[in-house]
Amino acid sequence: MKYGIIGTGAIGGFFGAKLAKSGQEVHFLFHRDYDVVCKQGLQVNSYDGDFHLFPVHAYQHAEDMPQCDVVLVALKSVNNELLKTLLPPLLKADTLVVMIQNGIGVEDDIQKMFPGTWLAAGLAYVCAAKTKPGVVDHLAQGSIDIGNYSCKDQNVMDKLISEMNAAGVKAKEVEYHKARWNKAIWNMSFNGMTVALDTKTDALLADPASNQLIRDLMLEVIDGARACGVKTLTHDLVDKIIHFTQDMPPYSPSMKLDYDFHRPMEIYYLYTRPIEEAKKAGYEMPKLSMLEAELKFKERNNL
């Protein structure tokens, strides 16, 4: 299939580069990196093998890109209003748009923006960072769960999963709501806490007090998800996610990097929206609500 990447940062760059390396036709939209990538290509420094792409189908303007079978959107959700102009040139009647973003409610809002477009959620489990133009550092993990939100052709979903796996990305289809809330367990706990305590994941887990707080936050997310109807998420996931994170290298999640570089943080879809959804279902998230308030304060004094 023909792929388009909107938001070629660490995550979009990693998945797009893996697909291109495997022989798929991939078209990348760049912002600051465009000139560098045109001259030097795209470099992926990976713990499981470095590789370099050159030449790259690189674009500075979405209107110059071709229509695609699949579009991977890896923009930060704070920039989703840009999709009103970025997405249309890439769309045809049966294009599948995969929203590789964190949080709850993303697809609901994008579907209102593009009523007839097929959407899926992409939940990335990968430690990657882009610290200089044209270079993606892949530190650990490298899988993606995909939840069908409104795609009407299962063959397209199946082919996407197949081509992802053939590219060396561990991909599987999961139920949409479970996928979104399952990823939220990690994100709502670690993203905000690394900002609030100005640290990385390993330090949060090494200290008994912050380790317990992380566990408490995870339990709130699980119980919120269950109140919203996702009964397959259970408390035993907490220990599994803790062990998963302990096996990762010391890591600054995306929200921590945004804060450190004085960029807007993805507070709405990561905290405000899921807290609202849980409250509508009759469940309060007091500790996460306190964390949300602290993050809003820190952002207002950081931009």
Catalytic (active-site) positions: 183
Question: Across-strand partners of 26?
Answer: 3
Q: How far apart are the first and last CA of the chain?
A: 40
List, in sequence order, every residue forming a beta bridge with 213; answer none if it has no partner: none
Separation between Cα atoms, residue 262 and residue 243, nearest integer Å: 31
Cα atoms in the 13 Å half-sphere on the side-chain side of 217: 28
